[in-house]
Amino acid sequence: MPFNNIYQGKTVLITGHAGFKGSWLSLWLKELGANVVGYSLLPDTNPRLYDVLDLGHLLKDSKIADIRDAKTLESFFAKHQPDIVFHLAAQPLVRLSYSEPVLTYETNVMGTLNVLEAARKTPSVKAFVNVTTDKCYENKEKKEGYKEDEPFGGYDMYSSSKGCVEILSSSYRRSFLTDGKPFALATARAGNVIGGGDWALDRLIPDCIRAFQAGKTVEIRNPHATRPWQLVLEPLAGYLRLGQKLLEEGTKYADGFNFGPEMNKDVRVSEVAEYVAKVWGNGQVKVGNGDGLHEANLLQLNIEKADKILGVRPVYTAHEAIEKTTAWYQAFYGKKADMHAFSLGQIADFIAAAQHKNLPWSK
């Protein structure tokens, strides 16, 4: 079994389980034999991956609530006594943070503090994986990838809020989690995740799929920007491996880790859109003028630490990730596939590819 079968029978609490990444993580953990409980708001999209996978009925408990509500959150922790927490709940959109800066900080910073405090008050919790973003670093658009010990920052409110979460996590660890007790806390940094079931606004591939499905041309805002594109299962494998090591060895792994594609394998936004159009079969792409809001042009992570310490490295190339993502949407809109089974099939294919590459987490 992957991850040394560590999740079999464990109670795993996921915040943000109803979101895009959270839904995939919930599905995978349930397949690994975990008792999955989730605490999340519903994403403001139609459809939602959470509904497509019927997670509301499949999970042990699914609480639709806000992490800013500390009392309800603490009650949920007390009810389920989880062994490990994966904290994904967030306001995750850069562009929305321009119009909703207070919401972004209240959710991402104070909401995270609420989750940490709820975990600290729950004796069963032994490990905590706090998911932030690659955008937590002070981005100077350098060609070398950012390492885990580089300064945090952020031009926009979303990025800076996640930089704050990294600082919060470090200070919380030193203030309250001495020697990994009561639990071991690590942060996980990844970004530009793609995969089936993401319908969020202002994300490249969902924007492409919406346009192509409607028979329209997609307009690209920032065609020359490069991003560390990766299939959603790549960082989730990193989170699960990190959680495994925290449960097994605690403080040795209580640190920050980058998860991303290989260095210098980033792909331009325009190339991604054009490849999605090609795989889709009849999509049309045009370059737009943008709307004046700042977006980084170059962002790369150095993933040597995750490779060396965790044995986590990329399974798919960016183009393979695009193919897998587009295939998921084609199956969904073709209405011929059981999307729960189809999604589990993509997880199984991913694990098999990781085993072929002899990655230690996959055995």
Active site residues: 158
From the list 33, 30, 35, the residue with the least C-alpha distance to 12 is 35
- Going through the chain in order, the beta strands assigned E by DSSP cover 11-15, 35-40, 61-64, 84-87, 127-131, 184-189, 193-194, 217-220, 226-227, 230-231, 256-258, 267-268, 284-287
The vertex-148 CA angle with 147 and 154, nearest 5°, equals: 90
What the block records as the tokens of 6 is: 């560590």
Locate tokens 């897998």: which residue?
324
Stated as kind and residue range, the H or E segment containing 179 is none
Task: Please say whether the beta carbons of 272 and 229 come within 8 A.
Answer: yes
String of DSSP letters for 210-255: HHHHTT-EEEES-TT-EE--EETHHHHHHHHHHHHHHHHHGGGG-S
If you count them, how many residues does the chain have? 363
